[in-house]
Amino acid sequence: MRLAIISDIHGNLEALTTALELIKKHAADEIVCLGDVVGYGANPNECLTIVRERCSVILRGNHDAAAVDLSVADQFTINARLAAIWTNNVLLKENKELLETLPLTKSRGDILLAHGSPYEPEEWHYIISEYEAKEAFQAFAEQLCFVGHSHIPVIFSEKGTTALVARGDRFIINVGSIGQPRDGNPQLSFGIFDTSSWTYENIRAEYDIPAAAQKIRKAGLPRALADRLMFGV
């Protein structure tokens, strides 16, 4: 089976629709979403509708939580907090109800899905360094853990950072962000994992950034949220 793993859409409809077109071309059998469907971007309701229809699993990210409980945004940056308030105001009732019921993690045999670290998932810790990865490995028993949250695609094995996934070791794989990459590359990012060959591919692609940015500005969201899309930061 070919599993597509998406994360951190952040209300970016242009990036999401492009990603789904690519997922179809890559003949994925199933799509799972690691959370943060909303926050930052101007199309939270539209993105939630699509994700609900297309994804077999949807996790709750910190921005999803903040969109229905603004106290979660107390630790956010000012722009992220303003985006959470805006999102809370525009979300449809049924979408708020959906976000309130989403799980933090999901185990599927040899695979664990999480938004942030599997260590204290309710705290949404980042896994950016090998030190943080080492802590996270102690918190799950599965062979693979797919995460998002940092918006930076990377693969950690128990031996350190790596470029390949293979049987015989355990891995934490960050699939990157659909709607707001932060690794200096503005292209959207997601993952394709083949459960038969036990291989993983990170997919990067361009999408209509000017359209997504213009929507953010038109909605009255902080301009910096539009500008950063151009640079992948």
Q: Whole-number mean pLDDT of the chain? A: 97
Query: Would you state the pLDDT for residue 204?
Result: 98
> Please, which residues have CB within 8 angstroms of residue 69's CB and are 6 or more apart in sequence?
none
Query: Would you state the pLDDT for residue 70?
Result: 97
CA torsion through residues 99, 104, 106, 111, sign: positive
- Tokens 């999901």, located at residue: 106
At the second CATH level, the architecture of 2-230 is 4-Layer Sandwich (3.60)
pLDDT tens-place string over residues 64-95: 999 999 999 999 999 999 999 999 999 999 99
Question: Angle at Cα 135 formed by Cα 114 and Cα 69, nearest 5°?
Answer: 40
Query: Would you state the pLDDT for residue 181?
Result: 97
Tell me the percentage of the chain whose pLDDT exceeds 70.
100
pLDDT tens-place string over residues 167-207: 889 999 999 999 999 999 999 999 999 999 999 999 999 99
**pLDDT mean over 3-32:** 98
Q: How many CA atoms lie within 13 A of 228 on its CB side?
A: 18
pLDDT range class, residue 112, cuts 50, 70, 90: very high
Query: Would you state the pLDDT for residue 1?
Result: 94
Helix (H/G/I), strand (E/B), else coil: 18: helix
Query: Would you state the pLDDT for residue 163?
Result: 86
pLDDT range class, residue 212, cuts 50, 70, 90: very high
Other Cβ atoms closer than 10 A to 34: 31
Query: Would you state the pLDDT for residue 164?
Result: 87
